[in-house]
Structure 1
Amino acid sequence: MTQSLTNESNEIHEQIIDEVAALEDRDPLELPPLYDAVEPDALESIFSTTVGGTTRVGRVEFPYADHTIIVEFEEEPVVRIE
């Protein structure tokens, strides 16, 4: 099953936790800490605008709570949960 995020939060790590919790019908606090899978601050900064003002493009994939989390970034982050 694949789920795309529709959460209103601007923080990628919050979106991931909220959507995995919704997908599993669990309270977000019942999930394992995201930092066991990925450093949340690094996840946020890896796609931040460069000092020169250009937008970074890329993809990060990692396992979390028995799911594969895929974050792709071009103009806006797109997060998929598989």
Structure 2
Amino acid sequence: MDGMAVHEARDQVSIDVIETIASVTDMDPLTMEPPLYEAIDTDALDSLYENGAVASVEFEYNGHTIRIDDEQTVTVDGRGA
């Protein structure tokens, strides 16, 4: 599974997304460009899962497809960037 990263949930899902993207792209999670909030409303994303929603979310960020499944597992496909 070269170019693929999977991150199990443990914090706010938006933090998990940032950490997973940083892992795949070798970016510093504190200085990622563009900031994740320019691609998705991170407050709404966190709120969705904090409120117990059973949902999958998929969006594009900097040439990557980010997927969060209903168990809050974050997957980055590794293409682009």
Give the TM-score range, shorter chain.
0.7 to 0.9
Query: 2:4 touches 2:24 (CA, 8 Å); kept in 1?
Result: no
Q: Give the match for residue 68 of structure 1.
A: 65
CA displacement 1:15-73 (0-9 Å, x = unmatched): 11122112111212133111111000100111233xxxxx4211110001211000112
CA spacing shift, 1:6–1:59, aligned 2, 3 Å: closer
Aligned to 2:24: 23
Q: Residue in 2 aligned with 1:48?
A: 50
Identity over aligned pairs, percent = 32
Where 2:67 maps in the other structure, the secondary structure is: strand
Q: Which letter does structure 1 place at the counterpart of 2:33?
A: L
- For 2:49, the aligned partner's letter is F
Measured in 1, the distance between the counterparts of 2:27 and 2:73 equals 23
RMSD after superposition: 1.8
Find the counterpart in structure 1 of residue 15 from structure 2: 14
**8 Å CA contact 2:5, 2:23 repeated in 1:** no
Quote the Cα distance in structure 1 between the aligned partners of 2:19 and 2:33. Answer: 10
After superposing on structure 2, the runs of 4+ consecutive aligned residues of structure 1 that deviate more than 2 Å are none
* Aligned partner letter, 2:47: S
CA distance in 1: counterparts of 2:62 and 2:37, whole angstroms: 11
Task: Name the counterpart of 1:81.
Answer: 76
| TM-score normalised by the chain length of structure 2 | 0.76
Query: Residues 30, 78 of structure 1: CA spacing in aligned structure 2 closer, same or farther, 3 A cutoff?
Result: closer
Structure showing greater radius of gyration is 1
